[in-house]
Chain A
């Protein structure tokens, strides 16, 4: 067996700016207390293990995968109940380039704040026509969209009277395993954001504001659904290819 050779080198990943991310330990988000490492992270330049990653093709997707209003019931006569919204945006990297053909997954509670999960025992009822998950692959411009219903706020056992703001969980792959990101989208104007200890694990208010999606009438369809825009930025490469030559060479 001959030694493997390094693949086309697109350059190392831009190191994460950890200051814009949430802290690991936050006593107000109680579960983080026993689940946060005490040692500092080991920092090192990325290697092919971080710079490569899985790719998922369009053949993976079913026609309703990004339509949460219909993908559980599969029946247009039985849509999910709630405020119909389009969630849309672009996936970009830190160099401002679109991230095309990458998998975006979402999951959320229903209009009453109830998750379809064996462990959720909140007494708000399940919607028989709502599953709460969706997925799509960005187009060549990094654009994605989901049709869904706006999730409700819900209480959770943290402090005595904590309620999560309305939110949609988002998982993005990018093209490198170390671009992997899970975050949450909040909704413009929701007063619960200011009271949420999970949102408050992000210590910079300006960074938290980047997770708040604005109402976007440009994409809402009259008499059908409202729209919210949510752009996502993934890590970029420290050197980028330009006409097949490394920059600066």
Chain B
């Protein structure tokens, strides 16, 4: 008999289900007032340094239908590449934002600051990106992905370089649609399926 490991095993995930908004975004569920304000309403506060941008998109299922019940969370560095809590980070950048797809159109909007490049362990930098986590009914474990930007130099990014099927890297790159405006659709399945991460 071998020795027993003293490590624990992560708690298994379950779907967030159709009513995730009751707990996460009570106002969206039609229940304002339980808390003073929903958590993570804004990625940035007034006065955040850097380029203020708006990313619009949808979470699209294998039939081409935009989910109306998805919840998305984002996490990112400030314009200088510092994460909230790190020394010298921009105090006006919350970094975290929580948002839902619109219940009529399925579109979501993230207003934030464009992040700077961030350092890698062991040297080198990652291209500017925003980490996303997507949960919904029918998604049994939250899906991790990232938003990169088509007007940045993504050529040396270690994650993008790791995508063996080169056309798939395009699924992680938001397209500029106007000054400070980007489009980023998340395709859960099928043609142009978004790259999801295990990190």
- The complex places the Cα of A92 from the Cα of B115 at a distance, in Å, of 31
Partner of A47, one of B121, B136, B139, B189: B121
Across-interface contacts of B82 in A (CB, < 8 A): 4
B197 close to chain A: CB less than 8 A:
yes
Q: Report the contact-size class of chain A (Cβ under 8 Å from the partner).
A: 35 or more
- The complex places the Cα of A32 from the Cα of B62 at a distance, in Å, of 10
Partner of A234, one of B11, B36, B69, B125: B11
- The complex places the Cα of A207 from the Cα of B10 at a distance, in Å, of 10
- The complex places the Cα of A178 from the Cα of B40 at a distance, in Å, of 17
Contact with A along B73-108 (1 / 0, CB 8 A): 101110011111111000000111000000000000
Q: Which residue of B lies closest to A202 (CB)?
A: B12
In the complex, the answer to whether A21 meets B75 with C-beta atoms within 8 Å is: no
A249 close to chain B: CB less than 8 A:
no
- The complex places the Cα of A117 from the Cα of B133 at a distance, in Å, of 23
Q: In the complex, identify which listed stretch (A79-87, A181-189, A215-223) lies at the interface while the others stay far away.
A: A181-189
In the complex, the answer to whether A37 meets B189 with C-beta atoms within 8 Å is: yes
- Given the known A-B contacts A9-B121, A52-B83, A177-B75, are A20 and B10 also in contact in the complex, defined by CB atoms under 8 Å? yes
Across-interface contacts of B1 in A (CB, < 8 A): none
- Given the known A-B contacts A3-B119, A12-B121, A107-B23, are A131 and B198 also in contact in the complex, defined by CB atoms under 8 Å? no
In the complex, the answer to whether B121 meets A38 with C-beta atoms within 8 Å is: no
- Given the known A-B contacts A26-B140, A49-B146, A94-B10, are A43 and B198 also in contact in the complex, defined by CB atoms under 8 Å? yes
A242 close to chain B: CB less than 8 A:
no
Least CB distance, B60 to chain A, in whole angstroms: 10
In the complex, the answer to whether A235 meets B10 with C-beta atoms within 8 Å is: yes
Partner of A169, one of B11, B23, B65, B197: B23
In the complex, the answer to whether B198 meets A17 with C-beta atoms within 8 Å is: no
Across-interface contacts of A38 in B (CB, < 8 A): 189-190, 193
- The complex places the Cα of A1 from the Cα of B165 at a distance, in Å, of 35
Contact with A along B136-165 (1 / 0, CB 8 A): 111111111010000000000011001100
- The complex places the Cα of A160 from the Cα of B158 at a distance, in Å, of 48
Contact with B along A180-218 (1 / 0, CB 8 A): 111110000000000000110110000110110000000
Least CB distance, B70 to chain A, in whole angstroms: 9
Across-interface contacts of A9 in B (CB, < 8 A): 121
In the complex, the answer to whether A116 meets B31 with C-beta atoms within 8 Å is: yes
- Name B residues whose Cβ lies closer than 8 Å to a Cβ of A: 6-24, 26, 29-31, 34-36, 39-40, 61-63, 65, 67, 69, 73, 75-77, 80-87, 94-96, 116-121, 125-126, 129, 131, 133, 135-144, 146, 158-159, 162-163, 168, 188-190, 193-199
Query: 14 A-B pairs, CB-CB below 8 angstroms?
Result: A3-B119, A6-B121, A7-B87, A13-B199, A50-B144, A53-B96, A94-B10, A95-B8, A117-B31, A119-B19, A181-B11, A182-B135, A210-B12, A233-B8
